[in-house]
Amino acid sequence: MVNLAVSEVNGCDYCLAAHTAIAQMNGFTQEQTLELRAGKASFQTSYNALAGLAKNITENRGRADKAVVDSFLAAGYTQENLVDTIVLVGDKTISNYLHNTTQVPVDFPAVEPLGA
C-alpha cells in the first residue's frame, strides 16, 4: 500500500509496475491497486488511512497534514506505526529516485497512468 502510493506520487514507472504485480499476486484486484496508487482504499478503512498518509507525507516532503495523521491514528494505528510508515516512505522514495535517475528497464507488466 505504501509502496504504491509513494511510487505514484514520485512517478516511478518501474516501482509502480513491480508493486502492482506484487499486490495482485497477494490478492488485490486491479481496481484496488488503482485506488492504492491514488492514496485511497474504499474497500478497507485502515488501508485508506495508511495509503492516504503515505501519499500525504510524500506530496508534502515529510510534512504530513495534522488531520491526515490524526485520521491515521483514529483508524487504530499507533505512534510506532507512524514512525514505521515514515521509514517506509523514505525507503521507497530512495528506490523511486534510483529508478527514475538510472532508468532501469521495466521488467514487469507496465501499468497505465492514473486517469488514462
CB of 36 closer than 8 Å to CB of 114: no
Binned at pLDDT 50, 70 and 90, residue 115 comes out as: confident
In three state form, how does the secondary structure of 50-103 look?
Answer: HHHHHHHHHHCCCCCCHHHHHHHHHCCCCHHHHHHHHHHHHHHHHHHHHHHHHC
The residue extents of the domains of the chain are 2-102
Would you mind telling me the total number of residues written for the chain in this entry? 116
Q: Whole-prediction pTM value?
A: 0.94
Assign domain 2-102 to its CATH superfamily: AhpD-like (1.20.1290.10)
d(CA 17, CA 111): 6
Q: For residue range 48-105, what is the model confidence (pLDDT) as tens digits?
A: 999 999 999 999 999 999 999 999 999 999 999 999 999 999 999 999 999 999 999 9
| Radius of gyration, CA atoms only, the chain | 14
